[in-house]
Structure 1
Amino acid sequence: MTGAWRVAVTIPARDEADRIAACLRSVQTAISTAGLHDAVVVVVADHCTDATAATARELLGPRGVVVECRHRSVGRARAVAAAAALRRTAPAPLHRTWLATTDADTTVDPDWLVRQLACAAEGAAAVAGVVRVDDLDDLAPVVGRRWRAAYRTTGRSHPHVHGANLGVRADAYVAVGGWPDTDTAEDHGLWDRLRRAGWPTAASVDVRVTTSGRRVGRAPAGFAAHLRSLEGTA
């Protein structure tokens, strides 16, 4: 069933030279596991001052696209990545094109795309997965305890939305206007647009990634800020 889809993986990055290689290797493994021989990976290096773009180009070669921009906005960077992905996947029909997105400080599970496309085959136009946090207890023991207490799931579903672990069918993405132009919470913005427009969504605990536990992030009030808030909560 995965072979019936044209798949693109989009990754925004800002000064992620130390992490982008692990991210891209995990994505390439997920592509191989899914048997997606013509999948494309798009990295958007947004206002980078390090070797992020060069590292990504070296690892991706002709199977990927690296776009450099200076937006300083994760929402705009994701939108640039999606636009490049849609150009690269044309002329595949939008309803058979799948846009999966993650972050440059994240590694995806080997079955990441297999699981997303299984949800798509069951009718989902968008899929939200869950995250593990790398070295969570090394941050501070209290952060690990509070994270696990707050990060709830319900059976096979969950209430969470992460740009590091999201997938959307291209026709749904285009119909709702794509990623919102915001510096923070662009993932919730897109998810809310899809749900308000009536597109079927799935939140699956089986779609998993591991993201950085750093507390100094790229997006204001983003995931790193949330971890800092857990450390400081009374």
Structure 2
Amino acid sequence: MTPNRASCRPAGTVTEITSAREELPRAEAGPVRIAVAIPAHEEAELISSCVHAVLRAIAHAQRVGAADRALVLVAAHRCTDETAARAREAMQRLPRQVAAIVVPDDGPGPVGAVRHRLVTRAAEHPWITPEAWVFSTDADSRVPTDWVTGLLAAAQHSRADAVAGLVALQGWHADEAARAAYERIVAAGIHGSSHDHAYAANLAVRLSAYTAVGGFPPAPHGEERELLQALRAAGHTVATPHAPIVLTSARMPGRADHGLGALLAALAEREQHLPSLSEPVAG
């Protein structure tokens, strides 16, 4: 599949993640250190597959010399289920030079605040220097094996301090009209080899740039878009490649009141108050 079609394909259940790869240069002159931040709220059913996919992507990046030491953090945010326990189980067999932590989080609820607390915790770890890269994904998502290498390569290709990738939806059982409406929204934000969309499930930023602009804002939704806007306003380049693509849940309702899940629900229900077809997607 092409990156464009994958990012616009909302229907059905995808059993494997594939990414169309561009021929890009190595991400850095040498391996970089990375931190991966994963917020989770009542995600006992999905967190294991998310963590396993992240660890595979890290191991691949280490094998090819793109990544050095890596830290994976899962925030168990106000969980009453087995999210924390299952995340710890998924972290039992770690690649070399990888540390993983489950962080109990009973703090304020906006997901932007949860993400920022995770990044702050990562920055306190001795492995994570200002030049390290912070990767963001979601507990209901699965990253491809080339996720770390692909985003780092896109950053090098564009001399960027941040990379915003695309997602493909899993399990959205909407009718043909709703699927077509979603595809039009996504396609409207695609411009040649770049795009206007923002997904916290597929994002990476150099820690020094993240810190300089204050990080994820404590927003109930759209925190990734606000972060990218702040980075651009401060003069940082944001790469927006079509690949690698992250597979993310199309569950309705979503965790954020006005996030991707809410958009999908509105489209499925054919509500009248929908975003403009030219409005980029954030989720």
The alpha-carbon deviation at position 58 of structure 1 amounts to: 1.6
Q: Which aligned pairs between 1:99-118 and structure 2 lie closer than 5 A?
A: 99-118=134-153
Distance 1:12 1:93 in 2: 21
Higher helix share: 1
8 A Cα contact 1:128 1:207, kept in partner:
no
State whether structure 2 residue 163 is matched by structure 1 residue 132: no
- Structure 1 pair 87/19, CA: closer, same or farther in 2 (3 Å)? same
Distance 1:6 1:79 in 2: 19
1:168 aligns with: 205
1:24 aligns with: 51
Q: Number of residue pairs matched?
A: 231
Residue 24 of structure 1 aligns with an amino acid whose one-letter code is V
Q: 2:184 aligns with which of 149, 153, 157?
A: 149
Distance 1:191 1:131 in 2: 17
The alpha-carbon deviation at position 118 of structure 1 amounts to: 0.7
TM-score for both structures, normalised by structure 1: 0.93
TM-score for both structures, normalised by structure 2: 0.77
Indicate the structure (1 or 2) with the bigger Cα radius of gyration.
2
Structure 2: runs of 5 or more not aligned: 1-25, 273-283
- Structure 1 pair 197/24, CA: closer, same or farther in 2 (3 Å)? same
Residue 40 of structure 1 aligns with an amino acid whose one-letter code is L
- Structure 1 pair 37/60, CA: closer, same or farther in 2 (3 Å)? farther
State whether structure 2 residue 278 is matched by structure 1 residue 230: no
Q: 2:111 aligns with which of 71, 74, 83?
A: 74
Distance 1:165 1:59 in 2: 20
Distance 2:89 2:81 in 1: 14
Identity %: 37
Residue 53 of structure 2 aligns with an amino acid whose one-letter code is S
8 A Cα contact 1:116 1:207, kept in partner:
yes
Distance 2:191 2:243 in 1: 12
Q: Which aligned pairs between 1:140-219 and structure 2 lie closer than 5 A?
A: 140-152=175-187, 153-219=190-256
Computed over aligned residues only, the root mean square deviation of the Cα atoms, in angstroms, reads 1.6
2:14 aligns with: none
